[in-house]
């Protein structure tokens, strides 16, 4: 549900990250320029290009990173309350597992959302995620499904530690301490979940941006370029600022996505506990 709401911004972020420098110009296009271009090119529906890949990604990457995080977190603790270090470690391990599980879907998402900005002769033309999966194995072999795995796992570790780990940290902090400006003690409710997830989304966007850019650019390629070669070339032609390309749409996408994900997650956990107790 969260992915369906925020997919247009995910598409915009990937296009900003993978747009060639010769087309993007020295400063690169703004978020609204890319959105406007996408709509003008093929209408509102074009903003949902690659949605099947996005859903496949959630059913692999997010499924593993969220499910394994809870298990790893409780395995690391003895009294039921995890320290900040234990939260970050559990989130990082779960993120790495999720990055491996979701790598094929990530490749499809990047290629399908950035296909229209590639030269016609270099477009992939995947009809949907399943057709794309078959094409990758056919054209590039099984190793093709692992393209960009290093940057993707790095990003997944950073994402889970900074998003899921920091959410737990902020939530604990809000429940333990009164808010000084308004002298208010938060309860474990919707307001607390909303506030903690907003803070977690902001932290995650900033920390993950460099790895996200490298991952998107590697997955959009089909040759034998290594991450280091791509990094050197991009730094030479665009400077260090390229590592934060697409930060704005990533922020606009990730914060609502984080809020929706954790609000749904908390409500589902609450309903599950009520069901088990009854």
Residues 6+ apart with CB under 8 A from 164: 65, 66, 69, 91, 94, 95, 200
Residue-wise pLDDT for 231-267, tens only, equals 888 888 888 888 888 788 778 778 888 998 898 888 8
Average pLDDT over residues 194-222: 84
- Taken as a whole, the chain contains a residue count of 278
CB-based burial, 122-133: b 16+ in 10 Å, e otherwise = eebebeebeebb
Site of tokens 């994402």 = 159
pTM: 0.72
Q: Do the Cβ atoms of 41 and 271 come closer than 8 Å? A: no
- Domain total in the chain: 1
Give phi and psi for 189, each to the nearest 5: -135, -170
Higher pLDDT residue, 58 or 46?
Answer: 58
Q: Do the Cβ atoms of 190 and 247 come closer than 8 Å? A: no
State the residue range of the domain holding 49.
Answer: 2-277
What is the distance between the alpha carbons of residues 87 and 67, in angstroms, rounded to a whole number?
Answer: 14
Q: What is the per-residue pLDDT for 24?
A: 47
Residues 6+ apart with CB under 8 A from 55: 3, 4, 129
How many helices (H) and strands (E) in the chain?
Answer: 12, 0
What average pLDDT does the structure give for the chain?
84
Q: Do the Cβ atoms of 115 and 197 come closer than 8 Å? A: no
Q: What is the per-residue pLDDT for 25?
A: 52
Q: Give 225-228's long-range contacts (Cβ < 8 A, gap of 24+).
A: 227/148, 227/150, 227/151
Q: How many CB atoms lie within 10 A of CB 33?
A: 13
Q: Do the Cβ atoms of 12 and 41 come closer than 8 Å? A: no
Q: Any idea which of 50-59, 136-145, 167-176, 181-190 has the lowest mean pLDDT?
A: 181-190
- Tokens representing residue 208 in the block: 């993950």
Q: What is the per-residue pLDDT for 239?
A: 83
Does residue 110 carry a pLDDT above 50? Answer: yes
Higher pLDDT residue, 200 or 47?
Answer: 200
Q: What is the per-residue pLDDT for 185?
A: 81
Tell me, what CATH number does 271's domain have?
Answer: 1.50.40.10
Distance of CA 29 to CAs 20, 32, 149, 240, Å?
A: 11, 8, 28, 17
Higher pLDDT residue, 64 or 248?
Answer: 64
**Bridge partner residues of 179 (DSSP):** 184
Site of tokens 């598409």 = 11
Give phi and psi for 179, each to the nearest 5: -70, 120
């Amino acid at each position: 549900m969260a992915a369906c709401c925020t997919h247009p911004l995910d598409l915009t972020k990937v296009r900003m990250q993978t747009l060639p420098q010769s087309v993007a110009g020295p400063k690169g296009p703004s978020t609204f320029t890319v959105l406007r271009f996408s709509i003008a090119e093929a209408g509102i529906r074009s903003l949902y290009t690659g949605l099947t890949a996005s859903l496949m990604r959630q059913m692999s990457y997010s499924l593993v990173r969220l499910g394994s995080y809870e298990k790893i977190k409780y395995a690391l603790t003895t009294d039921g309350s995890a320290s900040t270090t234990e939260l970050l470690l559990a989130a990082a391990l779960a993120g790495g597992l999720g990055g491996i599980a979701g790598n094929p879907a990530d490749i499809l998402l990047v290629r399908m959302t950035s296909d229209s900005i590639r030269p016609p002769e270099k477009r992939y033309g995947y009809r949907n995620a399943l057709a794309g999966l078959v094409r990758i194995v056919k054209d590039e072999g099984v190793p093709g499904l692992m393209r960009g795995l290093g940057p993707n796992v790095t990003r997944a570790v950073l994402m889970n530690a900074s998003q899921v780990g920091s959410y737990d940290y902020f939530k604990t902090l809000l429940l333990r301490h009164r808010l000084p400006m308004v002298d208010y003690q938060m309860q474990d409710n919707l307001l607390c979940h909303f506030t903690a997830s907003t803070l977690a989304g902001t932290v995650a966007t900033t920390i993950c941006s460099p790895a996200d850019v490298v991952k998107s650019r590697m997955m959009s390629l089909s040759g034998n370029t290594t991450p280091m070669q791509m990094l050197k070339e991009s730094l030479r032609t665009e400077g260090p600022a390229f590592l934060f390309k697409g930060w704005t749409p990533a922020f606009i996408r990730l914060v609502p996505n984080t809020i929706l994900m954790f609000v749904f997650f908390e409500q589902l956990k609450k309903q599950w506990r009520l069901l088990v107790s009854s």
